[in-house]
């Protein structure tokens, strides 16, 4: 059975009385995983608004053929900075930040395994991001050519060579990503050590919340993927600044090798971005279906399976290169294979909802939206795993539509679901449910209006990364529709931001456990005290709070 | 159910029993193992680049013409035997034998230092006699990149071990610190093991011996 000591309410009012400078100083020197987690999420949201503005500018430019709102040079910078920002400065920090906040609470620990390393990782991420954006001011150097990086988020050689990328913009891309990457490596190691070593009494591996399993695999993937990226970036830095020839075809170097190195990082990265989202949904869906997760052991196995297979699918990003039939067949087959554990997860979420008493509160809306949108993105992914089909649509808007269904309809929807689910825990107040529902439906409608037509314009032949297109190719309508979705999405996102700000002061008091949930983080106060739990908890099943609320029928005997 | 934290009810038979403290791995060990895993992939990438580019140079010296394996074998023996001396040092610290610890740690520092000296001598020869620089050709880029990063890690390891040695000389190291020193020694073993892969790639495959 579960023992959960009660925690006295924190003296929030005392904190508010201190002067602003003293409170900010506390945030700057903190090593508390909860404060660091909140800072991760807030910085990530700021970068999300910046990346969204960049996307909006691109859609405005592409609203009609022959538009000249932005120049081709600025357009190149926009798509480079949009992609880089969303992957490295939004997706990773927000997801790792939520892991930071939640994992110690979920496994009944006082803090992460290495609190100071944790703070170090956060500040590296933040200053790496600022270094990247400083390129708008500093990258012109003495050359007066480019400003922000403009080589695409995967920075293919030999475009990144000194010959073709003058000025320092590409160096800012390398260094900004590398510095924030060191932060991610620190956090990855910290997550692995925390989950393996800091679990409370009774929290066996197979009793952990599924999100802890997902974050464990994410930690391992961060450790395997970021090393090769850092190494490849060092080589590129040597090429550009010391005259080395790693990716210089003039001297026998290989541009394809960069692609291998980048995607050896890049595809595990996709799973680094989606596995935590799977984790959020695996916590939200059971709570709002009033059922235990369907097939817990299979979910764990699928997560570990995805972790392994994700290391051997990278070259499906490179079919158009001409790798030859053997490699094409191998990477195509591996890509089909990774759809199996992913499909298992989809069916298990549906199996959890099946026959449950579903409550469509805002977290559940986002979670079900996630499942539906991710299935579409996953299915177009399977289409793209077919080599001949990929040859046809590679580097077209079909691909853009595909990965936005995965990373926006998937990851971002799950992040917003998680924000609505755990905001009451972190702040102590509920978000406004009416505003939350408006923001979901606006975002859902705007998202589909923008990204579904991209599949069609892509099939019609619209290439990625072009700043304009010709009239009379049948592309006008689809591009206009894509642009028309932007204001709806912007309204949805701004409503969420407003809701977050407004509910901080005005929201209804949440209490410890507003959703009647079952995992350990709901056992302590909202917000939790600095030490999380007055006494280390002891758990006897996967749903410690169920055991606490139903001592006559503890879960452990059914597991 | 209240706060008697070490008495739990076993869900299978309903009996209350006091659990022994549950085993968890040491966070220090898991943390260092994570760092080593990440570093392995980092070095793996440089090794792949080196192997991939063997024989693809369009001009200039290559491993077959410029590298002299003989002295490198001597310096490699120094580095690899330092793994043994660092084990002896950790064992001495764990049993509280301070003098033996400082002797073996000092030996480790000397052997590691000899290896770095060997690398410096080799690089001097390559630059002066063969005019091989990082910008000369693909061999120069991949050779200096891989061997240079390894040497950089050896220096980092020497700094860490040197700090431990200094702390011991100043009297700040006790037997209870043996696990921390052991964790640093793991890193040192890792640097040695990487060298086996680097040596095989650069001096055996890269010179045409294999």
The DSSP-derived string for A69-89 is SS-HHHHHHHHHHHHHIIIII
A395: how many CB neighbours lie within 10 A of its CB? 13
Q: How much is the pLDDT for B143?
A: 97
Quick one: pLDDT band at residue B9, thresholds 50, 70, 90?
low
Residue A534 has pLDDT above 70, yes or no: yes
Can you tell me the mean pLDDT for B111-132? Answer: 97
Whether the CB-CB separation of A1 and B3 falls below 8 Å is answered with no
Q: Is A509 helix (H, G, I), strand (E, B) or coil?
A: strand
Residue B207 has pLDDT above 60, yes or no: yes
Can you tell me the mean pLDDT for B163-182? Answer: 93
Q: How much is the pLDDT for B125?
A: 96
CB contact under 8 A, B5 and A3: yes
Whether the CB-CB separation of A510 and A424 falls below 8 Å is answered with yes
For residue B18, the 8-state DSSP code is: E
How do residues A84-131 score in pLDDT, each as one tens digit? 999 999 999 999 999 999 999 999 999 999 999 999 999 999 999 999
Q: Distance from A555 to chain B by nearest Cα, in Å?
A: 8
Judge residue A73's burial from the number of C-beta atoms within 10 Å of its C-beta, 0-12 exposed, 13-18 middle, 19 or more buried: middle
Chain A positions touching B137 (Cβ under 8 A) are 245, 251-252
Chain A positions touching B141 (Cβ under 8 A) are 235, 238-239, 244-246, 253
Candidates A351, A56, A199, A46; CA nearest to B25 is A199
Q: How much is the pLDDT for A558?
A: 86
A346 assigned to some structural domain: yes
Q: How much is the pLDDT for A372?
A: 97
Q: Is A154 helix (H, G, I), strand (E, B) or coil?
A: coil
Q: Which CATH architecture has domain B46-205?
A: Up-down Bundle (1.20)
Residue B183 has pLDDT above 90, yes or no: yes
Quick one: pLDDT band at residue A557, thresholds 50, 70, 90?
confident
CB contact under 8 A, B25 and A535: no
Nearest C-alpha in A relative to B59: A251
A421 assigned to some structural domain: yes
Average pLDDT, chain A: 94
Task: Give chain A's domain count.
Answer: 1
Q: How much is the pLDDT for B119?
A: 97
List for chain A the helix, strand, coil content (%; round to 5): 70, 0, 30
What ipTM was predicted for this assembly? 0.94
Nearest C-alpha in A relative to B30: A193
CA separation for the pair B181, B166 (Å, rounded): 13
CB contact under 8 A, B134 and A238: yes
Q: What percent of chain A has pLDDT over 70?
A: 96
Chain B positions touching A190 (Cβ under 8 A) are 31
Residue A172 has pLDDT above 60, yes or no: yes
A322: how many CB neighbours lie within 10 A of its CB? 10
Candidates B49, B39, B55; CA nearest to B142 is B49
Backbone conformation region of residue A141, classed left if phi is above 0, alpha if psi is from -120 to 50, else beta: left
Can you tell me the mean pLDDT for B20-32? Answer: 89
CB contact under 8 A, B135 and A243: yes
Residue B4 has pLDDT above 70, yes or no: no
Nearest to B42 among A219, A227, A254 (CB): A227
Quick one: pLDDT band at residue A146, thresholds 50, 70, 90?
low
Mutation target for A interface from B10, B19, B45: give the one with most A CBs within 10 A: B45
Q: How much is the pLDDT for B174?
A: 87
Residue A232 has pLDDT above 70, yes or no: yes
Sequence-ordered list of residues with C-beta below 8 angstroms from that of A550, at least 6 positions apart, any chain: none
Strand pairing report for B16-18 and B7-9: antiparallel
A4 assigned to some structural domain: no
Quick one: pLDDT band at residue A142, thresholds 50, 70, 90?
low
How do residues A458-490 score in pLDDT, each as one tens digit? 999 999 999 999 998 999 999 999 999 999 999
Candidates A12, A555, A521, A523; CA nearest to B3 is A523
How do residues B137-163 score in pLDDT, each as one tens digit? 999 999 999 999 999 999 999 999 999
Candidates B139, B137, B195, B146; CA nearest to B46 is B146
Joined together, the tokens standing for residue A398 give: 């079909």
Judge residue A12's burial from the number of C-beta atoms within 10 Å of its C-beta, 0-12 exposed, 13-18 middle, 19 or more buried: exposed
Q: How much is the pLDDT for A11?
A: 47
Task: Write out the H or E segment, with its range, that includes residue A379.
Answer: helix A362-385
Domain hosting A121: range is: 12-558
A1 assigned to some structural domain: no
A207 assigned to some structural domain: yes
Mutation target for B interface from A103, A239, A246: give the one with most B CBs within 10 A: A246
A375 assigned to some structural domain: yes
Nearest to A235 among B10, B35, B145 (CB): B145
The CATH number of whichever domain residue A211 belongs to comes to 1.20.210.10
CB contact under 8 A, B37 and A199: no
Chain A positions touching B38 (Cβ under 8 A) are 185, 188-189, 223-224, 226-227
Whether the CB-CB separation of A525 and A7 falls below 8 Å is answered with yes
Whether the CB-CB separation of A71 and A78 falls below 8 Å is answered with no
Q: Is A100 helix (H, G, I), strand (E, B) or coil?
A: helix
How do residues B33-43 score in pLDDT, each as one tens digit? 999 999 999 99
Nearest to A197 among B25, B35, B37 (CB): B25
Chain A positions touching B26 (Cβ under 8 A) are 197
Whether the CB-CB separation of A384 and A316 falls below 8 Å is answered with yes
Interface size between A and B, measured as CB pairs under 8 A: 156
Joined together, the tokens standing for residue B204 give: 């055996």
Whether the CB-CB separation of A451 and A401 falls below 8 Å is answered with yes
Q: How much is the pLDDT for A483?
A: 97
pTM for this prediction: 0.94
Q: Is B17 helix (H, G, I), strand (E, B) or coil?
A: strand
Q: Distance from B29 to chain A by nearest Cα, in Å?
A: 9
Q: Distance from B61 to chain A by nearest Cα, in Å?
A: 13
Q: How much is the pLDDT for A1?
A: 43
Alpha-carbon Rg of chain A, whole angstroms? 23
CB contact under 8 A, A196 and B11: no
How do residues A51-68 score in pLDDT, each as one tens digit? 999 999 999 999 999 999
How do residues A403-445 score in pLDDT, each as one tens digit? 999 999 999 999 999 999 999 999 999 999 999 999 999 999 9
Candidates A229, A235, A221, A178; CA nearest to A310 is A221
CA separation for the pair B56, B27 (Å, rounded): 45
Q: Rounded to the nearest 10 degrees, how much is the dihedral formed by the CA atoms of A437, A443, A449, A450?
A: 180
A302 assigned to some structural domain: yes
- Helices (H), ranges, chain B: 27-52, 63-66, 69-94, 98-129, 138-169, 178-199
Quick one: pLDDT band at residue A16, thresholds 50, 70, 90?
low
Nearest to A1 among B11, B138, B145 (CB): B11
Residue A294 has pLDDT above 80, yes or no: yes
CB contact under 8 A, A5 and B2: yes
Q: How much is the pLDDT for A2?
A: 54
Peptide bond into A158 cis (omega under 30): yes
Nearest C-alpha in B relative to A205: B24
Q: How much is the pLDDT for B175?
A: 87
Distance of CA A56 to the CA centre of its chain: 20
A69 assigned to some structural domain: yes
Q: How much is the pLDDT for B16?
A: 52
Average pLDDT, chain B: 91
Chain B positions touching A224 (Cβ under 8 A) are 37-38, 41
């Amino acid at each position: 059975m579960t023992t959960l000591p009660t925690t006295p309410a924190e003296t929030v009012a005392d904190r508010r009385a201190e002067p602003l400078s003293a409170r900010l100083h506390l945030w700057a020197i903190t090593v508390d995983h909860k404060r660091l987690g909140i800072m991760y999420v807030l910085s990530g949201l700021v970068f999300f608004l910046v990346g969204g503005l960049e996307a909006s500018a691109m859609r405005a430019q592409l609203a009609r053929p022959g538009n000249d709102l932005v120049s081709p040079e600025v357009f190149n910078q926009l798509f480079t900075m949009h992609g880089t920002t969303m992957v490295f400065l939004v997706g990773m920090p927000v997801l790792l930040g939520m892991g930071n906040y939640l994992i110690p609470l979920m496994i009944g620990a006082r803090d992460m395994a290495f609190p100071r390393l944790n703070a170090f990782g956060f500040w590296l991420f933040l200053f790496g991001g600022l270094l990247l954006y400083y390129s708008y001011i500093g990258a012109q150097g003495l050359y007066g050519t480019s400003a922000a990086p403009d080589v695409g988020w995967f920075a293919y050689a030999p475009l990144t060579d000194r010959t073709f990328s003058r000025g320092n913009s590409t160096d800012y891309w390398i260094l900004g990503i590398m510095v924030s990457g060191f932060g991610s490596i620190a956090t990855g190691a910290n997550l692995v050590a925390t989950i393996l070593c800091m679990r409370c009494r009774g929290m066996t591996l197979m009793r952990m919340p599924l999100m802890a399993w997902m974050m464990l695999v994410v930690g391992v993937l961060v450790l395997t993927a970021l090393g090769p990226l850092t190494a490849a970036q060092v080589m590129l830095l040597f090429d550009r600044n010391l005259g080395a020839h790693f990716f210089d075809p003039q001297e026998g170097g290989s541009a394809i090798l960069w692609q291998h190195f980048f995607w050896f990082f890049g595809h595990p990265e996709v799973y680094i971005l989606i596995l935590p989202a799977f984790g959020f949904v695996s916590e939200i869906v059971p709570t709002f279906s009033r059922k235990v997760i369907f097939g817990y052991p299979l979910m764990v196995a699928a997560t570990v399976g995805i972790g392994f297979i994700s290391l051997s699918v990278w070259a499906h990003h490179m079919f158009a290169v001409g790798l030859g039939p053997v490699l094409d067949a191998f990477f195509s087959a591996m890509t089909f294979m990774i759809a199996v554990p992913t499909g298992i997860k989809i069916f298990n979420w549906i199996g959890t909802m099946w026959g449950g008493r579903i409550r469509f509160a805002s977290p559940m809306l986002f979670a079900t939206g996630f499942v539906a949108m991710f299935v579409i993105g996953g299915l177009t992914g399977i289409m793209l795993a077919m080599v001949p089909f990929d040859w046809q649509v590679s580097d077209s808007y079909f691909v853009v539509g595909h990965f936005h269904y995965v990373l926006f309809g998937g990851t971002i929807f799950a992040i917003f679901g998680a924000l609505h689910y755990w905001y009451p825990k972190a702040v102590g107040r509920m978000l406004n449910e009416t505003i939350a529902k408006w923001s979901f439906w606006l975002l859902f409608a705007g998202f589909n209006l923008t990204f579904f037509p991209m599949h069609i314009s892509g099939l019609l032949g619209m290439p990625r990364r072009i700043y304009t297109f010709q009239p009379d190719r049948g592309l006008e309508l689809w591009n206009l529709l894509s642009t028309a979705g932007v204001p709806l999405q912007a309204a949805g996102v701004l409503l969420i931001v407003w809701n977050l700000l407004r509910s901080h002061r005005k929201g209804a008091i949440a209490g410890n456990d507003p959703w009647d949930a079952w995992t350990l983080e709901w056992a302590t106060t909202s917000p939790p005290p600095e030490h999380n739990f007055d006494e280390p908890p002891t758990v006897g099943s996967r749903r410690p709070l169920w055991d606490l609320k139903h001592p006559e029928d503890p879960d452990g005997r059914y597991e | 159910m209240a706060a008697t934290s070490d008495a739990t009810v076993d869900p299978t038979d309903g009996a209350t029993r006091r659990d022994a403290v549950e085993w968890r791995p040491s966070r220090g060990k898991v943390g260092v193992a994570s760092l080593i895993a990440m570093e392995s992939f980092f070095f793996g990438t440089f090794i792949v680049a080196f192997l991939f580019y063997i024989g693809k140079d369009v001009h200039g010296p290559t491993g077959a013409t410029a590298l002299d394996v003989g002295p490198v074998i001597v310096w490699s023996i120094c580095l690899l035997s330092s793994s043994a001396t660092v084990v002896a040092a950790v064992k001495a610290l764990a049993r509280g034998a301070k003098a033996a610890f400082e002797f073996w740690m000092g030996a480790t520092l000397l052997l590691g230092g000899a290896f770095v000296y060997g690398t410096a001598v080799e690089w001097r020869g390559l630059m002066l006699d063969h005019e091989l620089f990082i910008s000369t050709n693909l061999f120069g880029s991949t050779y200096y990149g891989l061997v240079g990063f390894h040497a950089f890690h050896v220096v980092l390891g020497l700094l860490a071990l040197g700090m431990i040695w200094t702390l011991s000389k100043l009297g700040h190291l006790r037997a209870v610190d043996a696990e921390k020193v052991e964790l640093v020694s793991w890193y040192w073993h890792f640097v040695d093991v990487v060298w086996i892969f680097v040596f095989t790639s650069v001096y055996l495959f890269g010179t045409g011996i294999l």
